[in-house]
Amino acid sequence: MNLTSYPCPLPDGSRAAEYALAFDSGAAQRLLIIPALFDEGHRLRRLCVDVMRRLTGTGIDSVLPDLPGTNESLVDLQTLALTDWTAAIRAAASNFDATHVLAIRGGGLLAPQALPGWCYAPVKGASQLRTLIRARVLSSREAGREENGEGLLIEAQEHGIELAGYRLAAAMVQQLQAAQPNPDLAEIEQDLLGGSPLWLRAEPDADMGQADGLAAYLTMAMRG
């Protein structure tokens, strides 16, 4: 596994070097993994890496790019909209010569139309946004403050908002509210992997059985 980077386009026309984890042996089959969004991305990152390790043993290369404004990125998330993340994924797909794509949860909102592939447990942008707002309402209530989810959504669409530690611009919120997963990707349901969803667990966790199941499915699908 190597830590590498790819040239990511930014809204002002410049480019930033964003990190990516890659298993790259020059194989003919090359899987681009689009991470889950926001806090779910942290909870599912171990699963992604475990799947990548298993795929490389079958001769399939893979890459997991960071999105601008997340993780170690120097880009200010408040300057970005969902379309900027979509452009970043297209750039990563081109840079790493991806032949297939696996989108994780909200990553399905960013999946390029040109690549065949799969979406694991896809979620609509509006649903992802409601989950983030619900978490903020509950957190505020525990702190003795009352906030209303509907009011927060209106505020977010007009002025932007901070949710789960992420400061989102109004354009990001508006585009999330309308975004749908790429319908061309085959859906991988949680039942295929067994166990409870990792994004619902209290802390980031590993599940070797789920990683085995997802890697085996992808290997058979890509080789079939």
pLDDT in tens, 61-74: 999 999 999 999 99
Could you tell me if 36 and 30 are in contact, meaning their C-beta atoms sit under 8 angstroms apart?
no
Give the pLDDT confidence score for residue 1 in this predicted structure: 83
Q: Concatenated DSSP letters for 90-133?
A: HHHHHHTT-SEEEEEGGGGGS--TTS-EEEES---HHHHHHHHH
The pLDDT mean for the chain works out to 96
pLDDT in tens, 85-124: 999 999 999 999 999 999 999 999 999 998 999 999 999 9
Domain boundaries, the chain: 2-123+181-223, 126-180
Q: Name the 3-class secondary structure at 50.
A: helix
Where does the chain have alpha helices with state H? 39-56, 82-95, 125-142, 149-159, 170-178, 190-193, 208-223
Write down the pTM of the prediction.
0.96
Cβ-Cβ contacts under 8 Å for 127 (sequence gap 6 or more): none
pLDDT at 4 over 90: yes
pLDDT band at 224 (very low <50, low <70, confident <90, very high): confident
Candidate CATH numbers 3.40.50.1820, 3.60.15.10, 3.40.50.2020, 3.30.360.10; the one for domain 2-123+181-223: 3.40.50.1820
What are the C-alpha distances in Å from 193 to residues 8, 120, 199, 214, 216?
33, 10, 14, 6, 10
Give the pLDDT confidence score for residue 143 in this predicted structure: 81
